[in-house]
Amino acid sequence: MEFRIADTFTASLARLTGSEQKAVKTTAFDLQLNLSSPGLRFHRLDRARDPNFWSVRVSDDIRLIVHRTATNLLLCYVGHHDPAYAWAERRRIERHPTTGAAQLVELPERIEHVAAIPADVTAAPAPKPPLFAEISDETLLGYGIPPEWLPQVRQANEDTLFDIAERLPQEAAEALLNLATGTAPEMPPRTPVEADPFTHPDAQRRFRVLTNIEELERALDYPWDKWAVFLHPAQRRLVERDYNGPARISGSAGTGKTIVALHRAVVLARRDPQARVLLTTFSKALANALRIRLRTLTGNELDIADRIAVHPVSGIGYDLYTAAFGQPNIAPPGLIDTLLRDAATEVQGHRFSPRFLIGEWREVVDAWQLATWEDYRDVARLGRKTRIGGKQREILWSIFERVRAGLAERKAVTWPDLFGRVTAHIVDNKSPFDFVVVDEAQDVGVAELRFLACAARRADGLFFAGDLGQRIFQQPFSWRSLGVDVRGRSYTLRINYRTSHQIRVQADRLLPTALTDVDGNAEDRRGTVSVFNGPAPEIETFDDPEQESEAVAAWVKGRIEQGVQPHEVGVFVRSPRELRRARSTLKQAGIQAVELSDKIEITPGKVSIGIICISLRA
């Protein structure tokens, strides 16, 4: 008998107390190990519309809802007695007649016809037009709409769409949201009648076969982390497919890029028992978060976890440099500034500002590891707004040449220097990694990308996850020129799980519908849909900073008076220059604050202050 778990079960389990969850896990383990155990007490739900729904007693008040057939047992829901029974009475599991996918369908409530209000009593607004009235039943069924929901879907308008979508199977909800925004969604595949409906890609996003006690233990230990067990079909395809070269996935914030990167790292380690995988990102805080999530995903598969190294890219570069050459003497920013200022004083005939020199050094000379005048003369200065001619470049190089000499004299290296030497070393010797998976890849720099390209020993060993729209730290540059060509292997995720429809629509106004990198790879952001509804964001403008501070203080204080916990509130500012004003604002409101730095933390009883940089467009 196959033993399965549904995403609705993990979601309901997460809502129970710790002691209740512990009792549920014990019962679930007993079900998996021995269905005929005398300690298990099954009760058929006579009022359920699905004859295969049973309850299993966990305690005096907690009940498991399972779907039991001769060949399958599916954990569907868990809760207190009456709510658990009510949940089962409103649902059934069925094979969709068109797609063939197994679906857990919530049965629609009967719609009562309300008599029209006379016009002379009130001037009711005209009803909004239905969104899907002109779409045929055949087409709607092809998208996975359950047959019993066709009447409600045909009546749906922009006000009622989300209420209906939240009660439909995921593939049906996503199709309707796409259609409502003018995008023709992809038709789900159709499973032959003789095939198991649980093997359909859409069924696998909500039902998972658990083959051993370890898989069940992992699913129950982290019920709130459904991403560890269930994947969207589009995500699963990108995780499991074979690539013939470097690949990159993109998508707006909340589309699951990090989840795909984590699963990809685990899949690569599982496929090859000898392979070593580097999972990396651009900051220590994000690497720590990846490490925690990886433990959730691998559970007690110690061999898999041991072969996946999780480091910030600077951290692995530093470690490899130290192993090959000894501990590096990293040049601090202050030293670079001093060397540039002194060199600029020595070189006559220029009017370059210190700010320009620092930017030119950081984004061009140091980033590209330019060692000779010829290198600097021929380099493309992408992203640099100031155009300079040949004579000016000669003068500039005489300044940068002095900076390089000053660093060499002090035996100091910059981070690009470090990555350059590490890259040369692993090319001449051997990289310790077969595969490299990079999260937040939009913020990888030139020297780091050169290193990562050489760090993967396999030709198909590079996998990137990132979003050009979220680039913060790096100027654009050509990946292809560094040997990382993702043309034909670049994909975009379009289902947003973290951001409400209202917030995503507002945020999308800050970016164009399509973003193109230097190599011509386009990320089309059209067709992205959010899977849940939420309140519309409030946007206010003020005449002066004092008015803004007063409004922010009043808003935060109002939320806390309404019962929102302080640590659930974050105040974000555009840059470090505004931090002082944020501190003062919260202090005047009588609210304690904690500032988030390189560590990801939530401090109970305090409002968090962070920095967010947004690139606004006119």
Express each pLDDT in 351-365 by its tens digit.
889 999 998 999 899
Tell whether the model's pLDDT for residue 344 goes beyond 50: yes
216 and 244 both lie in a single domain: no
pLDDT band (50, 70, 90) for residue 616:
very low
Top-confidence residue, 379 or 63: 63
Q: Within this chain, do residues 247 and 320 fall inside the same structural domain, yes or no?
A: yes
Q: What angle do CA 302, 307, 312 make, to 5 degrees?
A: 115
Number of domains in the chain: 4
413 DSSP assignment: B
Q: Say what the pLDDT of residue 618 is.
A: 28
Q: Are residues 504 and 422 in the same domain?
A: yes
- The answer as to whether 587 is a domain residue is yes
Between 495 and 56, the more confident residue is 56
Most confident among 233-242, 490-499, 532-541, 560-569 (mean pLDDT) = 233-242
CA-CA distance, 547 to 465, in Å (whole number)? 41
| Same domain membership, residue 340 and residue 318 | no
Checking if the pLDDT of 560 tops 90, the result is no
Residue from 110, 66, 111 nearest 87 by CA: 66
Mean pLDDT of 504-526: 76
Residues 462 and 452: their CA atoms lie apart, in Å, by: 8
Res 613: pLDDT = 47
395/262 same-domain check? no
Residues 318 and 436 in one domain: yes
Average pLDDT, the chain: 87
- Cα separation, 311 vs 333, in Å, equals 23
Domain assignment present for 16:
yes
d(CA 428, CA 454) in angstroms, rounded, equals 10
- Please report whether residue 569 resides in a domain: yes
- Mean pLDDT throughout 21-25? 93
Shared-domain flag, residues 525 and 599:
no
Coil/strand/helix, residue 583: helix
Residue 513 near residue 482 (C-beta atoms within 8 A) = no
- The sheet carrying 607-611 orders its strands as 570-573, 607-611, 593-595
The winner for highest mean pLDDT among 317-321, 367-371, 374-378 is 317-321
Name every residue whose Cβ is closer than 8 Å to that of residue 89 and which is 6 or more positions away in sequence.
Answer: 45, 47, 48, 49
> Could you tell me which residues are beta bridge partners of residue 278?
309, 436
Here the tokens at position 434 are: 């077969």
Q: Phi and psi dihedrals of 265, rounded to 5?
A: -60, -40
Task: Record the tokens describing residue 255, joined without a space.
Answer: 């589309």
Instruction: Provide the CATH number for the domain around residue 526.
Output: 3.40.50.300
Distances (CA, A) of 602 to 186, 539, 606: 40, 26, 8
DSSP reduced 3-state for 42: strand
> Which of 571, 573, 581 minimizes the C-alpha distance to 546?
581
What is the rounded CA–CA span in Å between residue 164 and residue 72?
30
Instruction: Answer yes or no: is pLDDT of 489 > 90.
Output: yes
Q: Is the domain of 394 the same as that of 430?
A: no
The CATH number of the domain where 15 resides is what? 3.30.2310.20
Give yes or no: residues 352 and 403 share one domain: yes
Whole-model pTM? 0.79
Domain boundary among 382, 412, 442: 412
**186 part of a folded domain:** no
pLDDT at 156 over 60: yes
Q: Contact at 8 Å (CB) between 213 and 406? A: no
Residue at 598 is within a domain: yes
Is the residue at 489 inside a domain? yes
pLDDT range class, residue 195, cuts 50, 70, 90: very high
Confidence of residue 391 (pLDDT cuts 50, 70, 90): confident
**307 in the same domain as 278:** yes
In a domain, 249, yes or no: yes
- The dihedrals phi and psi of 589, each to the nearest 5 degrees, come to -85, 0
| Amino acid 611: pLDDT | 60
Average of pLDDT values for 553-578?
A: 87
CA distance 495 to 503: 14
Phi and psi of 510, rounded to 5°?
Answer: -85, -10
pLDDT at 469: 65
In-domain check, residue 578 = yes
User: Which of 221, 256, 284 is the last residue before a domain boundary?
Assistant: 221
- 310 and 431 within one domain: yes
Enter the tokens of residue 252. Answer: 């707006």
Is residue 493 pLDDT above 80, yes or no?
Answer: yes
Range of the domain at 577: 545-611
- Run of H or E residues at 208: strand 207-209
Q: What's the pLDDT score for residue 116?
A: 45
Amino acid type, 441? A
Which of 7, 1, 60 lies closest to 34, judged by CA?
1
Domain boundary at 412, 444, 460, which? Answer: 412
For residue 288, pLDDT beyond 90: yes
**Per-residue pLDDT, 443:** 85
Tokens encoding 330: 């990293």
Question: Do residues 502 and 565 share a domain?
Answer: no
Q: Is 606 or 576 the better-scoring residue by pLDDT?
A: 576
Are 486 and 143 in contact, with CB atoms under 8 Å apart?
A: no
| CB contact set of 555 (below 8 Å; sequence gap of 6+) | none
Question: Is the pLDDT reported for residue 110 higher than 70?
Answer: no
**How far is it, in rounded angstroms, from Cα 299 to Cα 277?**
17
Highest mean pLDDT among 40-49, 118-127, 572-581 belongs to 40-49
Containing 280, the helix (H) or strand (E) segment is strand 277-281
